[in-house]
C-alpha cells in the first residue's frame, strides 16, 4: 500500500495541539490530527492513521507541518489537497501532497526543524495587537534587541537542554543540536526569534524564547544561559512564553528534494 506525504498549515488557537486525544467518558478534544483523520476518513471511506513530524502544543501554529499516511486510492495525487481542504475546518489547510521515498517516516527522517517566536512589545503599546493577536505574543515591556541577538547566539551548538525543557519532557536524552538561533527586530515594536535544530524537547522553544526576551528586558543576565546549560537548573532560565507566538516554519528531509525549507504566508 503506497504512502502519501502532505504538508499542512494551521492556526492552532482553537486546537488542543497536534496529537489526537480521546479521553474516556468525554468527547474527543479538537486536535489537528483528529480533524485531519476525520477528513481522510470522509475522503477515502476508511479509517486512516497519520503520523506527524512535530507534536505541536495546544495553541501553537504551523506553516508547514509534514504528515504521512498509507492508503490505496485512484484519486490523482495533485487533487488530494483540494479534496481534503473541502472537508477540513477553516483553520487548517493542506498545501501539498507527494509520494515520499519508501519507508518514509516524518519524525525519524527529519534532519532539521525550524520554529519562529514572534513578540509585540513596547511601553507605548496601550492595547494588544488586534489583527494578529492570535499569532503574536504581546508584552508591554520594551526589549533591547542588541543583547537579545547575543543571547540567541549562545544556544547554537550541541548542548544538554535540560534547563530549557518542561520537567515532563519524556525523553531519555535532553541533548539536542541547535543549528541556528537568531533574534531580529522587524519593526520598532516587533521582534522575532528564529531557531532551527535537529529536534526539540517539550516547551524548549518557548523557554528559550522566554530566556531571550527576559534578557532583552534586562531581567536576566547573558551569563544565565551558559550557567543553565552547564547545570541543567531550570530556575536559571527564563519563563515558558505563551503558545500563541510560536509557529513551526519548516522541516527539512534529505530524501525529499521537494521538501526544501519553505514559509507559508497564508495564515
Best CA proximity match to 213, nearest among 246, 238, 249, 185: 238
Rounded Cα distance, 193 and 117, in Å: 5
Among 57, 63, 91, 109, the one annotated catalytic? 57
Q: Tell me if residue 44 falls in helix, strand or coil.
A: helix
Name the one residue in this structure whose C-alpha cell is 510560536: 246
Rounded Cα distance, 153 and 151, in Å: 5
57 is catalytic: yes
Q: Tell me if residue 248 falls in helix, strand or coil.
A: strand
Q: Give me 156's grid cell.
A: 547554537
**Beta carbons of 51 and 68 less than 8 angstroms apart:** yes
At residue 185, what are phi and psi to the nearest 5 degrees?
-95, 110
Kindly list the catalytic residues.
57
Amino acid at each position: 500500500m503506497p504512502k502519501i506525504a502532505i504538508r499542512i498549515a494551521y492556526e492552532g488557537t482553537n486546537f488542543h495541539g497536534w496529537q489526537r486525544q480521546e479521553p474516556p467518558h468525554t468527547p474527543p478534544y479538537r486536535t489537528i490530527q483528529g480533524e485531519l483523520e476525520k477528513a481522510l476518513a470522509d475522503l477515502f471511506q476508511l479509517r486512516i492513521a497519520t503520523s506527524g513530524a512535530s507534536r505541536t502544543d495546544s495553541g501553537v501554529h504551523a506553516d508547514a507541518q509534514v504528515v504521512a499516511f498509507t492508503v490505496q486510492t485512484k484519486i490523482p495525487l495533485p487533487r488530494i489537497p483540494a479534496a481534503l481542504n473541502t472537508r477540513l475546518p477553516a483553520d487548517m489547510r493542506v498545501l501539498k501532497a507527494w509520494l515520499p521515498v519508501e519507508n518514509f517516516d516524518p519524525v525519524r527522517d527529519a534532519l532539521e526543524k525550524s520554529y519562529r517566536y514572534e513578540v509585540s512589545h513596547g511601553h507605548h503599546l496601550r492595547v494588544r495587537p488586534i489583527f494578529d493577536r492570535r499569532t503574536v505574543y504581546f508584552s508591554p515591556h520594551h526589549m533591547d534587541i542588541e543583547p537579545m541577538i547575543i543571547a540567541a547566539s549562545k544556544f547554537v551548538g550541541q548542548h544538554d537542554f535540560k534547563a530549557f525543557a518542561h520537567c515532563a519532557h519524556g525523553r531519555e536524552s535532553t541533548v539536542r543540536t541547535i543549528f541556528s538561533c537568531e533574534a531580529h527586530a522587524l519593526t520598532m515594536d516587533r521582534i522575532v526569534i528564529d531557531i532551527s535544530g535537529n529536534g526539540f524537547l517539550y516547551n524548549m522553544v518557548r523557554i528559550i524564547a522566554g530566556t531571550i526576551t527576559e534578557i532583552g528586558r534586562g531581567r536576566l543576565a547573558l551569563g544565565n544561559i551558559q550557567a543553565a546549560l552547564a547545570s541543567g537548573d531550570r530556575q536559571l532560565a527564563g519563563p515558558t512564553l505563551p503558545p500563541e507566538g510560536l509557529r513551526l516554519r519548516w522541516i527539512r528531509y534529505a530524501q525529499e528534494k521537494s521538501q526544501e525549507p519553505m514559509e507559508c504566508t497564508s495564515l
